[in-house]
Structure 1
Amino acid sequence: MSSLQIKELEKSFKIGRNEEKILKSIDFELEEGKITALVGTSGSGKSTLLTIAAGLQKSSGGKIKFNDKDLTDMSSSKVRDVRAKEFGFVFQHAHLVPFLSVKDQLNLMIDTAELKWRKKEKQQRIQDILETVDMWKHRDSDPDQLSGGEKQRVAIARAIIHEPKLLFADEPTASLDSKRSVEVMELIRSLSIERNITVLMVTHDEDMLVYADRTVEMKDGKIEK
C-alpha cells in the first residue's frame, strides 16, 4: 500500500531570462511502513524532491497525494496542518532550540501539532519516547551539553513524538562519525518497523543503504529506471 504518490512532478527556477528544470516529470511512490533512500550526485534533485514531497516548497507542476489527500490542491494553511500533524522531519543538523531542555524540545513539538493530550499523558509519552531513544537520562540537559549523536537522537524523538505517518530525513547522518551514524540509522530503522512509519531519506553515505528497504537513484532531475 502506498502512503505517498507523486505524479508528473516538475520544478523549475528562473535564472535571469532562462528557466532551469530541476525536477523533470517525476513519478514516484512510497510504500507504507518502508524506508526509501534517495541517492545521486549533488545537484541531481534529491533534496528538492524531498522538500516538495514534504510540502516545504511548491512544485511547478504535477500532483502529490498523501493517504488520498491531494496536497497540491490544498491551501498553504492546510498543507501546514498536515505537515505539523502527520509528518516528521530529521535533517543533517539537529536544529534544536538552544535555550530549551531536551524534554521541552518535545513539549514544543506537541504544542506545534496541537495535540490535546492531558498533562499526565503528555509527560508519559515524552518519557516513553526519550527512553526509546536512550535520552531520558538527559531530559533536563540543554543542547550545548549533548554530543552530536545525542542531539540527533533528540531530533528523532522530536520528529516522532506526535506519531507521524511519514518521516522525512535529509542527510540524517552526514554530520556524524561512522559509529554514531550506525546508531542513528538503527534507531530510525527500528522505529519505522515498530511504529509503521514510512521514511523518505536522502543520503550520500552508501554504508547507510543497508537500512533502506528500497534505493532510488536520481540523475539530472529524473529518477533512473
Structure 2
Amino acid sequence: MALFTIEDVYKTFQNGDVQEEILKGVSLTLHAGEMTALVGASGSGKSTLLTIAAGLQSASSGNIIFEEKNLTAMNAEQIRQIRASQFGFVFQFAHLVPFLTVAEQLTLMLNVAAKHEQKQQIDRILSLIGMEHRKNMYPASLSGGEKQRVAIARAIIHQPKILFADEPTASLDSTRSKEVMELLQSITKELNIATLIVTHDEEMLTYVDRTVKMVDGVIQ
C-alpha cells in the first residue's frame, strides 16, 4: 500500500483576467524506501506539485493522502503538525544558522526532553551522513557539500516518513552533487522513508528508483 498518494490534483492561479492551470489532474504514489525524481522543463509544474504535496500550499482540487489521512480536508494547524512531525525538507541552499554549530543545528529540530537522548540521536544522524568529525564546526568552516549534508541531517533528525527535496544539488559542483545524491539514496533505504526529489540534472537520475516526467502540468 502507498505511504503517500497525490490524487487527481489541479492547481490554478489567477493572472489578471486569466486563470492559468498549472497542474491538470496529477496523480502520483510514494512508497517507503523508494526515491522518486520529478523532472521536467521550467514551468512544467514540478515544484508546484512538490510544494502542494508537502502542504506548503493548497491544491485547487484533488486529494493528498498520507497514511490514509486526507491532508486537503485538514485545517492549517493540523497540516502544520504533520509537516513538523512527519515531513522533512531539503532545499537548493542549506540555509544553516551561521552562529550555531553542526550539532546545534540539529538540536533545534528535536523535541526530545532528555539531553542524553538528544545527543544519541544527533550522534547517530551525524554518523549516518559522515559528519561526526565536524559536529562542533560552524557553517563558515564547511564546504558547500558539507553544508547540504547538514541540511539533510536537519531534515531527518526528527525521523520523518516523507522527505521532500527541491533541487538539492543545484548549487553544488558535480562531485558534491553526486555525494549528496548518494547520501539521499542511502538515507531513503536505511531509514525506509519515501523521498520525492525535484531535479533538472539528468545525471542525478541514476541514483533514484523511479523517474516521473512532467510536461505542461501533467505526468507523462
* Superposition TM-score, scaled by structure 1 size: 0.95
User: Which sections of structure 1, spanning at least 5 residues, go unmatched?
Assistant: none
For residue 81 of structure 1, give the secondary structure of its aligned residue in structure 2: helix
For residue 62 of structure 1, give the secondary structure of its aligned residue in structure 2: strand
How far residue 126 of structure 1 moved from its aligned partner, in angstroms, is 0.4
Q: Deviations over 1:180-202 (max 9, x none)?
A: 11111111111111110100000
Residue 211 of structure 1 pairs with residue 212 of structure 2:
no
The letter for the 1-side match of 2:150 is V
Residues 59-78 of structure 1 mapped to structure 2, 5 A cutoff: 59-78=59-78
User: Which sections of structure 2, spanning at least 5 residues, go unmatched?
Assistant: none
In structure 2, the partner of 1:3 is 3
Residue 202 of structure 1 pairs with residue 207 of structure 2:
no
Aligned mates of 1:32, 1:93 — CA distance in 2: 25
Q: Deviations over 1:9-61 (max 9, x none)?
A: 01111111111011111111112220110000000000000000000011111
The letter for the 2-side match of 1:131 is S
How far residue 118 of structure 1 moved from its aligned partner, in angstroms, is 1.2
Aligned mates of 1:100, 1:19 — CA distance in 2: 44
How far residue 116 of structure 1 moved from its aligned partner, in angstroms, is 3.1
Residues 54-203 of structure 1 mapped to structure 2, 5 A cutoff: 54-110=54-110, 115-203=111-199
Q: Deviations over 1:66-111 (max 9, x none)?
A: 011110011100100000000001111111112211111101111x
How far residue 137 of structure 1 moved from its aligned partner, in angstroms, is 1.6
Aligned alpha-carbon RMSD (Å): 0.9
Aligned mates of 1:78, 1:141 — CA distance in 2: 36
The letter for the 1-side match of 2:54 is A
Aligned mates of 2:179, 2:80 — CA distance in 1: 31
For residue 5 of structure 1, give the secondary structure of its aligned residue in structure 2: strand
The letter for the 2-side match of 1:128 is R
Aligned mates of 1:70, 1:117 — CA distance in 2: 30
Aligned mates of 2:194, 2:178 — CA distance in 1: 19
For residue 136 of structure 2, give the secondary structure of its aligned residue in structure 1: coil
How far residue 117 of structure 1 moved from its aligned partner, in angstroms, is 4.0
Aligned mates of 1:50, 1:70 — CA distance in 2: 16
The letter for the 1-side match of 2:214 is M
Aligned mates of 2:29, 2:196 — CA distance in 1: 10
Q: Which runs of 4+ in 1 moved over 2 A?
A: none
In structure 2, the partner of 1:49 is 49
Aligned mates of 2:168, 2:113 — CA distance in 1: 29
Identity %: 58
For residue 2 of structure 1, give the secondary structure of its aligned residue in structure 2: coil
Aligned mates of 1:153, 1:217 — CA distance in 2: 26
Aligned mates of 2:118, 2:103 — CA distance in 1: 11
Q: Deviations over 1:102-132 (max 9, x none)?
A: 111101111xxxx334110111110111121
